[in-house]
Amino acid sequence: MNFEIFVMNGFGIYVWSSFAFTFLVCLFLFLRTKKTLKKLEKEFVKEAHNLSEDRLKEVKKQKIAKEILISHSRS
């Protein structure tokens, strides 16, 4: 394998260090974003579960109210 490809006429140290720095920054940002996403997903699931319980109570109340209104309109 030709070592000159990696040396790049003396500029290889700058090219490869820039490449490594960019890769590490992108990796850091990816991992941080992934951690934040997992945290937000857990919060969303918890909130959705609580919301669904509240929504079920509302739906039951609405259903009862509709039944009452229907029975009164028939009379």
Which helix or strand (DSSP H or E) is residue 15 part of?
Answer: helix 12-74
Instruction: Tell me the whole-structure pTM to 2 decimals.
Output: 0.59
Burial classification of residue 12, based on how many CB atoms lie within 10 Å of its CB (0-12 exposed, 13-18 middle, 19 or more buried): middle
Residue 64 to residues 46, 50, 69, 74, Cα–Cα distance (Å) = 28, 22, 9, 16
pLDDT value of position 42:
93
Q: What ranges do the domains of the chain cover?
A: 14-74
Average pLDDT, the chain: 84
More confident residue, 23 or 4: 23
Residues 6+ apart with CB under 8 A from 8: 15
Question: For 32-57, how does the pLDDT look when each residue is reduced to its tens digit (9 = 90+)?
Answer: 999 999 999 999 888 877 777 777 67
More confident residue, 73 or 21: 21
